[in-house]
Structure formats: C-alpha cells, structure tokens
C-alpha cells in the first residue's frame, strides 16, 4: 500500500513538473531571427552605428541613398531617403558606386566613387566626398567637397582612426592592377601626398579574366595587438570573388609597406554547399550593446559570372585564439540567424 502511494505521488509530481516546464517554455521569449539577404538588391553595403541608430547605404549606381534604423537586419522597414543625386555633367556624373558614411569632427561625410559621363571609365574614376553638418544625415544639406586628391585614379575610399590619426584607404589603378594604398588625412576631404602602396594582387585568387584586383579595403582592429585590413580580391564578375587580409602590429608604422603581411588564402570565400558565390566588399559593425561583431557583405546565390544579382547580407563572426577574425562560412539564404544582441 505504501509503495502504491509513493508511486502515485511520484507520478503526480512528474505531471506537475512537466506542466510547469511547458508553461515556462511557452512564456519564455524566443530569440528573434532573420534570414539573408537584407534587401532584394544592393552591392557594396555599408553600416555605421551612432547615437542609437544604424545608418546603411549601398551602391545604387544612380544616387546616394541612406537608411536609418535600430535594426540593420530589417532594412525593408527602415526609414529611407535619397540624399544626393549626381549632376548632369562633371567628374561625379556617372557610375555612383561604393558609398561609405563616416562621422568625423562632428559632421557627416559621404565618400563615394564616380566617373564623368562625358569621359566614363577607369581613367576618370575617382573617390569624392560630401559633407553634412546635421545630426541626422537623412536631413540637412550635403555640400560637395570634391575629389579626394589621390595620386591615382581609383575607387572604394574608406576612413579609419588609429592612435588619434585618421587614415584613408583606397584602391588605385596602376596599369592592369588595382592596388591598395594608405595615406594620412589632412582633413576629411584632403589626404597627404605621401600615399603608400601596401598590397597588390600577386596570388591566383586575386586575378581573373585579365584583371588583377585588390579593392574595397576595410579596417578592423584585432584582439591581441593586431590591425587588419580586409579587402576584396579579384574581379566582381568572378564567382570566386572573396576576402583577403593584411595584418600589422598596432605599434607599427602603418605607412611602411613592410608592416603589412598578406594572408596566403582568402579569409571569407564562396560556399558551394550554401549556394553563396562571390562574397565580398564588406564592412564591419557591432551589436547595439557592443558585445557582438558583425560582418556585412554582398554575395550572389547563382554562379553567373557577372556583377549582377548581388545582395547585402550579414552574419556574426568570432575571433581565433591568436586574436585574428574568424569569419566562418557564408550563411545560406535559407538559414535563420539570430538577430544582433540588444536589437529592439
């Protein structure tokens, strides 16, 4: 009789425990997720976080458009505005590419690549910049500050700060190659005439279809005293377009080419298993609470040997024991990814 009573009590306890757990699970919020791509179209994505908002932009080819949101993985519902359209003629009248938004000295600056509609092509392609004094870059006036005084024609200008100095990166056309250059900045629209080449395409995966290309340089600070420049390698119409990496010690002279060491293999490349091709032209951002690191990039879901059908994508990345980034493998568009921590 005692054994039967104990058994009944045990069964009752198990039932109540199960009901409690089920109720708790139903009340526990599920972590929100998203899937790539972030938009139906858009190459060369750029994200910057400031004052509680993410600002996003990408190449449209015909204007400069900004998105403003608290969740960069939900751009379809973000505030969106065309903030600048090119003039009918002049050095910035055609092929508006690779915009980057930066906050410098209390003002906003939009760096972008363009050429002249009357003389289009690489021989007249430059990085140019606009200035806006408004706190919100989607409002106010954008003032044309003209071309960046690069020694070479080129594209993909970017800015970063290190030890109180601002540096400018770009990809310059040197013969058949697109090489990476660095210079100190005099102000947000002027760079030093000392512009140092820190990388050129020398490896097979940096060359394709008669072109040798290192472009889209992006700065990333490591976890163990290193500095990294992540760049895009090969032609944009190469389905094997991928990311390479330069490494320097944070105490080194960044204007000395010998300070930079190139990785022998891509650090982020296509995934046949995930149907992701040509991942590249990236940027980096963090979750709103600063706890997570994210890479934002473009890629294709079809190996089409073309610079078309590129879409913006994002995924979290981690760090290796030596302090270098571990970008992993590009996620499939069918994979649900957890949103950045602290996303509203």
The secondary structure of 271-310, three-state, reads ECCCCEEEEEEEEEEECCCCCCEEEEEEEECCCCCCCCCC
> Catalytic: which of 44, 116, 156, 238?
44
Q: How far apart are CA 37 and CA 39, in angstroms?
A: 5
Alpha helices in the chain (DSSP H): 2-27
Note if 215 is an active site residue.
Answer: yes
Per-residue tokens: 236: 């944009």
Coil, helix or strand at residue 161: strand
Q: Are 154 and 96 in contact (CB under 8 A)?
A: no
Spacing of C-alpha 97 from chain mean position = 14
Note if 44 is an active site residue.
Answer: yes
**161: Cα within 13 Å, side-chain hemisphere:** 8
Closest CA to 286 of 217, 229, 343: 343
Q: Are 93 and 76 in contact (CB under 8 A)?
A: no
Q: Return the C-alpha torsion angle 305, 246, 292, 312, nearest 10.
A: -20
> Catalytic: which of 131, 156, 215, 238?
215
Coil, helix or strand at residue 170: strand
Residues in the chain: 344
Q: Are 184 and 255 in contact (CB under 8 A)?
A: yes
Task: Supply the residues annotated as catalytic.
Answer: 44, 215
């Amino acid at each position: 009789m005692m054994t039967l009573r104990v058994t009944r009590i045990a069964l009752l306890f198990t039932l109540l425990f199960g009901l409690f757990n089920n109720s708790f699970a139903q009340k526990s919020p599920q972590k929100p997720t998203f899937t790539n791509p972030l938009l139906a179209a858009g190459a060369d994505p750029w994200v910057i976080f400031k004052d509680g908002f993410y600002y996003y932009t990408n190449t449209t080819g015909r204007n400069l458009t900004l998105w403003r949101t608290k969740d960069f993985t939900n751009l379809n519902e973000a505030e969106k505005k065309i903030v600048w359209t090119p003039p009918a003629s002049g050095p910035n009248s055609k092929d508006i590419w690779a915009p980057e938004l930066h906050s410098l000295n209390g003002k906003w600056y939009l760096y972008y690549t363009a050429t002249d509609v009357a003389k289009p092509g690489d021989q007249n392609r430059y990085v140019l910049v606009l200035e806006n004094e408004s706190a919100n870059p989607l409002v106010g006036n954008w003032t044309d500050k003209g071309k960046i005084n690069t020694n070479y024609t080129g594209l993909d200008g970017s800015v970063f700060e290190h030890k109180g100095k601002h540096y400018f990166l770009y990809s310059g056309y040197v013969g058949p190659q697109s090489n990476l250059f660095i210079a100190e900045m005099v102000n947000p629209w002027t760079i030093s005439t000392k512009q140092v080449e820190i990388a050129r395409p020398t490896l097979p995966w940096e060359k394709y279809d008669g072109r040798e290309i290192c472009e889209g340089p992006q700065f990333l600070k490591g976890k163990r005293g290193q500095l990294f420049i992540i760049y895009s390698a090969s032609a944009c119409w190469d389905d094997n377009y991928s990311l390479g990496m330069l490494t320097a010690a944070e105490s080194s002279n960044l204007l000395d080419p010998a300070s930079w060491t190139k990785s022998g293999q891509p650090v982020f490349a296509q995934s046949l298993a995930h149907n992701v091709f040509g991942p590249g032209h990236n940027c980096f951002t963090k979750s709103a609470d600063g706890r997570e690191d994210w890479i934002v990039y473009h890629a294709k879901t079809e190996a089409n040997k073309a610079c078309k059908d590129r879409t913006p994508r994002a995924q979290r990345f981690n760090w290796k024991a030596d302090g270098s980034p571990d970008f992993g493998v590009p996620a499939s568009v069918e994979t649900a990814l957890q949103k950045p921590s602290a996303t509203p």
